[in-house]
Amino acid sequence: MDNTRQALIASIERLKQALADYRQREGFEDRVPAPRPPADEAEIVAYERHLGLRLPESYRIFLQLHNGYDWLAYPGHMLPIRSVMPGGEWYEDICEWKRDTVEYGSGEVLDGIVIATVDEATNWKLYLDPNRPSRQGELTVVEWTPNESYEYADLIEFFDELTLTWSEEDEVGEEIDEDEEDEDED
């Protein structure tokens, strides 16, 4: 658990730095990742009882560190437990998204444990798939969009991939700038 905790903390720090660089480049200074206070063990256990399963280690540790994190899953937010429970801010939107998605033929989301979303309810979701264990007690993390889905072995792998995505944006931008400089010299 200590190794997973340290790896998760390091992954979050790398992602925060990549997002800071991206925000500065693109002028999104109002979208600063903001951690929420940790969940206490009683809240996590109550959530697990509601779900009928034990959460995977990487997500449990995330909740022990941050019970939600605005803008970390950019362009979305990691959701706090209370917001996804019955009566919570996101609960009805998530239920509606599941119904609509199933209606259009994507029934695999029905059992998904939504852990992140963007402000528009049907645009993008990140969920744990309880029907698809990955490795060592983890659940597959699915990044869902209306057009395609991506899968990750655990939350750390998702954060690391997101870090690469926002870092690659920088590299692509640098390549374009270099090409423009070459054209200007001609």
Among the listed residues 63, 66, 69, the one whose alpha carbon sits nearest the alpha carbon of residue 33: 69
Q: Regarding the domain with residue range 2-167, which homologous superfamily does it belong to in the CATH classification?
A: SMI1/KNR4-like (3.40.1580.10)
Domain ranges of the chain: 2-167
In tens, the pLDDT along 111-155 reads 999 999 987 655 789 999 999 999 888 999 999 988 889 999 999
Among the listed residues 184, 177, 55, the one whose alpha carbon sits nearest the alpha carbon of residue 114: 55
What is the structure's pLDDT at 181?
47
In tens, the pLDDT along 19-65 reads 999 988 888 778 889 999 999 999 999 999 999 999 999 999 999 99
Residues 163, 15 contacting (CB under 8 angstroms): yes
Q: How far apart are CA 47 and CA 54, in angstroms?
A: 9
Task: Using the predicted structure, report yes or no on whether residue 183 has a pLDDT greater than 70.
Answer: no
